[in-house]
Every structure is written in C-alpha cells, then in structure tokens.
Amino acid sequence: MNTFSILGQDKALRLLARARTSGRLAHAYLFTGPDGVGKSSLARELAMALLCRHTKADAAGCGLCPSCLQMQSGNHPDFMVIEPDGQGIKIDSIRRMKQALGYPPLTGAYRIVLLKETHTMRREAANSLLKILEEPPPGNLLLLTADDGAGLLPTIRSRCQLIALHALPLNLASEVIQQHRPDLGPADCFAMAELSGGSPGQALRMEEEGILPLYQELIQALTSRSQGSTAKQVQSALSLAGRLAEHKNMAAQLLHLLRILCKDALAAKMCRYTDNFNGVQASGQTNGTDTIRVFRERWNTEQLSAKLQSIDRAEQALLRNCNPALAFEVLLLQFFGCFPS
C-alpha cells in the first residue's frame, strides 16, 4: 500500500484516512499550520490519492496510473491551484475558479481545487469564496491552506473541516531536510531545523537564501573567545546587523532562538545544572549546548537578564516597523558589550 510521504503529521493523516474509509469526506478542508510544515504538500498528496484510479480508500496515490502521472507533471485537468498573486489571492482568481466549478469533473468523481495561503485573501475575494463554500457544486472538493494567524475570516474557517498541522520535532524536521538535501551534513540539517523552528519547507528556503551561514556566523561571533578591540567589535556588529536586516522575515525566528539560548544559560546559572538543557539543543547535534556554556560563563545573571530585555526591545522595535538594521545594530552592540544594555 502506498503511504503518504508527509512526516510528523500523524493526527492529520489519521483524520483524513478516517474520513476516506468511512466515505464521509467533507466538501472543504482547511489545512492550517506554520509556514513550511507541509500543508500544500499534504493537500496535493490527498488530491492525488482521491484522483488516483487504483488506490485504496486510505492509501496514497499509486504514482503510476495516468491520473497520478498527470498530477506529478502538474497537468491534471481536474486539479486546479489558486495562489496569491502579488499581495494575496485576488477576486478574479476566485471568479475563474467558480466558473470552472460550474462544470462536472472531466475525468473522474472529483474536481479538486487547492487554494493556497487563503489568509492573504482580501475581504472582497474572501466573501466571494464564502458563497461557494456554502454550496459547492457536487463533485468538487476545496482544499484550503492558511497560517495560524488571525488573517483568515472566521466565516471561512467555520465552513471548512479543520486539519491542523504543527511544527515538527527538530530531529524529525532535520530528517526531512536531509531527505531533500542529501548533500548537507547532519549538523547543518539540524541547525536548519532549529533555525526554522521545525518547519522543513521554511528551512529549505532559508538555505537557498543563504540564511543558515548567517545564523552560524552570528553564533560564532557571539561565542568567539577573542572578541578583538572595541573598534573591531563595533565594525563586526554593524556589518552583521546589516546583513541580518536583509532577512527581515526571519528576524522573529532569529530573536526567538537567541532568547532560548539566553534563557537556558540563565536557567543553567540559577539552577546550577549543566546537562540536559531543554529546547533547541536537546539532541546535542548542534553547537547549542556549547553556545549556552559560553553565554553562562561570559555573563552573570544580571547581564543575561539585560540581554533578554534587549531582545524584547529589538522585537518590539521590529513590530513597530522600525528600521530593522538599526534594531539589529542596537541589539548586537549590546551583545558584543560595546555599550551597556
């Protein structure tokens, strides 16, 4: 039996399998979860399974029949994808979809529409979608994806069967990344899992954008034993801050990781424990434990608390849309000890 390739989303897979085997598939599913955990991939695999000519009710698509081959090549006549165009999904796309839904499926029992990132829909497009969600023409199945935020209208959410996906445990996320990038070493895969907060899709995009080396450089700079002259430190901090600011979309995750490292160092100092730190470094596969050790040895309790406060201030500045380069400069100058927190 073919099985779905999505890892770490067992509850979602069980819900879908139960619906299929009992013949009680909903008319619309909403896949929610953080960016990069597999929402669209799972929706595509479900579509392939439902359109497959040979598969059993709880299995994945066979991968060999004409329908599966059409899905794999992106040319299935009964599978349609609506995705954001620029800022979000536009009403014209919803209108085109509604027009297509007026005709019966061309090849089998279903026509399936995948609507990606529906939290980006403008109200006008969302209202237009509402009407078709209320009364979808027979033979059509809508698969929506959205993040966990508040961007999606509650009225859309309430008309769909919710399938919640979650960030993966770091070891599992690392495994998925390794499957896609066998050229990378295990430590790099784990660092990417860590940096993305357990979202393999996001991790792979970050690797393409060169964010992993930047993160490693940040950790290296913060843990380096010889920090050089003050002038050199200021120069390093400013240079690094400028490059970090270019990836503003990753700022929250970077600050989150820095906070975990500082909190663990503070906890280790206060509780006097040295091993089994919780959080990102639990596997011991990364330099997380070393980083915490350096933080713990370098700074006292008050200094670590001040570092945590400076992370809070940087986060607040970014939320207020302040200049990200400036927010990172202030943060890193404080971390590098160029001026008091």
* The two structure tokens encoding residue 109: 């029992």
Which residue, 61 or 136, is less far from Zn ion as judged by CB?
61
Closest approach, Cβ 60 to Zn ion, in A, equals 9
Crossing angle of the two packed helices 10-21 and 39-51, in degrees rounded to 10: 20
Which residue, 48 or 333, is less far from Zn ion as judged by CB?
48
Closest approach, Cβ 84 to Zn ion, in A, equals 29
Which residue, 64 or 270, is less far from Zn ion as judged by CB?
64
Question: Taking CB under 5 A as the rule, which mask of x and - marks residues 188-227 in contact with Zn ion?
Answer: ----------------------------------------
Residue 154 burial class via C-beta count within 10 angstroms: exposed 0-12, middle 13-18, buried 19 and up: exposed
CA–CA separation, 139 and 1 (whole Å): 26
Enclosing H/E stretch for 146:
strand 140-146
How many binding residues for Zn ion (CB under 5 A)? Answer: 5
Residues 33-62 close enough to bind Zn ion by CB under 5 A: 52, 61-62
Closest approach, Cβ 72 to Zn ion, in A, equals 10
- Choosing from 15, 26, 59, 65, the residue that interacts with Zn ion (CB under 5 A) is 65
Are residues 163 and 43 in contact, defined by beta-carbon separation less than 8 angstroms? no
Query: By CB under 5 A, which span of 9-17, 68-76, 93-101, 251-259 interacts with Zn ion?
Result: 68-76
Residues 280-339 close enough to bind Zn ion by CB under 5 A: none
Which residue, 62 or 240, is less far from Zn ion as judged by CB?
62
Question: Taking CB under 5 A as the rule, which mask of x and - marks residues 129-148 in contact with Zn ion?
Answer: --------------------
CA–CA separation, 253 and 244 (whole Å): 12
The β-bridge partners of 113 are: 80, 142
Which residue, 28 or 60, is less far from Zn ion as judged by CB?
60
Closest approach, Cβ 80 to Zn ion, in A, equals 19
What 8-state DSSP symbol labels residue 293? Answer: H
CA–CA separation, 138 and 161 (whole Å): 17
Which residue, 56 or 96, is less far from Zn ion as judged by CB?
56
Which residue, 2 or 120, is less far from Zn ion as judged by CB?
2
Which residue, 53 or 95, is less far from Zn ion as judged by CB?
53
DSSP codes of every residue in 78-124: TEEEE--BTTB--HHHHHHHHHHHTSPPSSSS-EEEEE--GGG--HH
Closest approach, Cβ 154 to Zn ion, in A, equals 37
Q: Which residues of 102-125 are buried (b: 16+ CB within 10 A; e: fewer)?
A: eeebeebeebbbbbbbbbbbeeeb
Closest approach, Cβ 15 to Zn ion, in A, equals 22
Enclosing H/E stretch for 44:
helix 39-51
- Choosing from 12, 68, 206, 268, the residue that interacts with Zn ion (CB under 5 A) is 68
- In whole angstroms, how far apart are CA 299 and each of 232, 271, 336, 337? 20, 15, 11, 10
Are residues 148 and 32 in contact, defined by beta-carbon separation less than 8 angstroms? yes
What type of residue sits at position 312? D
Which residue, 62 or 115, is less far from Zn ion as judged by CB?
62
Closest approach, Cβ 165 to Zn ion, in A, equals 24
| Phi and psi based region of residue 207 (left: phi greater than 0; alpha: psi -120 to 50; beta: remaining) | alpha
Closest approach, Cβ 159 to Zn ion, in A, equals 30
Closest approach, Cβ 149 to Zn ion, in A, equals 35
Give me the residues that bind Zn ion (CB under 5 A), please. 52, 61-62, 65, 68
